[in-house]
Amino acid sequence: MEFSRMQNVWSLLFGYSLKEYSLKENIWYVIFQVRSLEAQGLPSKQAEAITGAITEVLNDSLGVVSQLVVSKGEMQKAEMTQESNLSKFKSEINSSLDHHFSLLQHENEKLRNDIERIRSDIRHEIDKVTAGQRLDLNLEKGRIRDELQNQNAETSNLTNKLDREIHTLRAQLEAAKYEVIKYCIGTLVSISAVGLAVLRIVM
């Protein structure tokens, strides 16, 4: 704003803009500076040399200043361009964020589906292993039951066989006892007969 005000004041005073001003073209300023230096006692050549050097420095400075001076229209145009670029940048950022957010949602959904699939597979494997173990356990129970039944049957057979053998032995003992009794009776009868015979002989 200060540069714009300076340009307007310069245009009102001299009739041309600061960008169009050049000390080399203003001969009156150069003559005035040379005469001022000569009045202070400097030779004409030195005064002209000093004035030329000052003119070059001022021209360079004014050139730099003229490059920095920006009109109000250019400022507004630059601001509009900057706002447009900023709005475009914000729109691109928002679009990029929306795109990345959509990608993240898609990846999260895919990850959730993968986790659910893995969980279902693990549950299926667990059920399969559990069913296999249950089947093996039932088979083992059936095998143990069959073995117990076989052992019970064998025990019953052994018991029956033992009972039959005991009965046979008991019958044999009874028969042997009858034979012993019969033998003892026969022996007693024989002894009695011999005794009677001896008594008869003695008497």
Q: What is the pLDDT of residues 14-39, one digit of tens each?
A: 444 444 444 444 555 656 666 776 77
**pLDDT at residue 10 tops 60:** no
Q: What is the mean pLDDT of residues 5-9?
A: 42
* Number of domains composing the chain: 1
Tell whether 110 is covered by a domain.
no
What's the pLDDT score for residue 116?
A: 92
Per-residue tokens: 106: 């898609």
Q: What is the pLDDT of residues 103-134, one digit of tens each?
A: 889 999 999 999 999 999 998 988 888 887 88
Determine the Cα–Cα distance for residues 3 and 68; give it in Å rounded to an integer.
8
What's the pLDDT score for residue 17?
A: 45
Q: What is the mean pLDDT of residues 30-58?
A: 70
Q: Which range scores top for mean pLDDT: 8-17, 59-68, 70-79?
A: 70-79
Tell whether 17 is covered by a domain.
yes
Tell whether 80 is covered by a domain.
no
Determine the Cα–Cα distance for residues 34 and 50; give it in Å rounded to an integer.
8
Q: Quick one: what percent of the chain has pLDDT higher than 90?
A: 6
Predicted TM-score (pTM) of the model is 0.33
Tell whether 26 is covered by a domain.
yes
Tell whether 36 is covered by a domain.
yes
Tell whether 62 is covered by a domain.
yes
The Cα-based distances of 171 to 130, 157, 168, 178 in angstroms read: 60, 21, 5, 11
Higher-pLDDT residue of 56, 111: 111
Tell whether 45 is covered by a domain.
yes
Determine the Cα–Cα distance for residues 102 and 108; give it in Å rounded to an integer.
10
Higher-pLDDT residue of 84, 203: 84
> Which of 13-17, 68-72, 88-92, 170-174 has the lowest average pLDDT?
13-17
What's the pLDDT score for residue 61?
A: 63
Range of the domain at 43: 1-69
